[in-house]
Amino acid sequence: MINFKNVKTGEIKTASSLREEGDKIYIRFSLDGKEYGYNKNNIEVIDSDATELPFRVYTYAKDCYRCHKQTEILTYITYVDIPTDDVLFPCDYDRLNKHQNIFAHMQDPSIEYYGINVIGDIEEFDYMLMEKYPDRIKNCYSKTKNKIYPMNACCHCGTGQGWYFVYRDINEIIKNGAKLELYSCNSKMKV
Ligand SMILES: [Zn+2]
């Protein structure tokens, strides 16, 4: 499987096969599916290994809200205006504030509600994370969202650490000017 980005829309998709001919790239989404032609300039091949992720994976230690022991959280952190753009450190605070969820911040001024996506925000990314780290990321039920979605499972008790906890933590880390660590050298490095 090959991951590629449609540069025009920012969408990331997975192709079954991909071939170049002249100024076109022909993509098949399934083994014997129809072939679609794209202008070569609009396609950016991200990797040719389905286990690589098209975003950076950050990690931090967190106390599990149920058993209170320390576990490790994995998440992507991307900008809401372009969800495929990783938030890099030091952060671009102008951009984070420009897309701040002001309404949520007014209701709950305890965090900034920066314009970021974390695990639980982008379904496609969540499933990619779960596929890559099945022992760490599991489908769990969330009362807050009233649905089942991939979450970091506590390494002690297995409880899913839901979106809200991670979103809160990342907001606090960013506000404090702290830097998050990259989890894996296998995740795609972008400079
Ligand atoms: Zn726990």
Give me ligand 1 centre to Cα 155, in Å. 7
Give me ligand 1 centre to Cα 72, in Å. 10
Considering only CA atoms, which of 50, 49, 41, 46 is closest in space to residue 20? 41
pLDDT per residue, tens digit, the chain (191 aa), is: 677 888 888 888 888 778 888 899 889 888 788 999 999 899 887 765 445 789 999 999 999 999 999 999 999 999 999 999 999 988 999 999 999 999 999 999 999 999 999 999 999 999 999 999 999 999 999 888 888 999 999 999 999 999 999 999 999 999 999 888 888 544 444 33
pLDDT of res. 21: 83
* Sign of the dihedral defined by the CA atoms of residues 78, 51, 129, 63, in that order: negative
Query: How many other C-beta atoms are found inside a 10 Å radius of the C-beta of residue 57?
Result: 23
pLDDT of res. 103: 96
How far apart are the C-alpha atoms of 181 and 178, rounded to whole Å? 10
pLDDT of res. 47: 61
Give me ligand 1 centre to Cα 137, in Å. 14
pLDDT of res. 191: 32
The structure tokens listed for 99 are 């897309």
Give me ligand 1 centre to Cα 124, in Å. 26
Give me ligand 1 centre to Cα 67, in Å. 4
Give me ligand 1 centre to Cα 70, in Å. 8
H or E stretch at 148: strand 147-153
pLDDT of res. 51: 56
Give me ligand 1 centre to Cα 123, in Å. 24
Give me ligand 1 centre to Cα 130, in Å. 18
Give me ligand 1 centre to Cα 142, in Å. 15
pLDDT of res. 10: 86
Give me ligand 1 centre to Cα 187, in Å. 26
DSSP state of 121: S
Are 115 and 174 in contact by the 8 Å Cβ rule? The answer is: no
pTM of the model: 0.70
The structure tokens listed for 153 are 């499972």
Domain-wise residue ranges, the chain: 2-47, 58-182
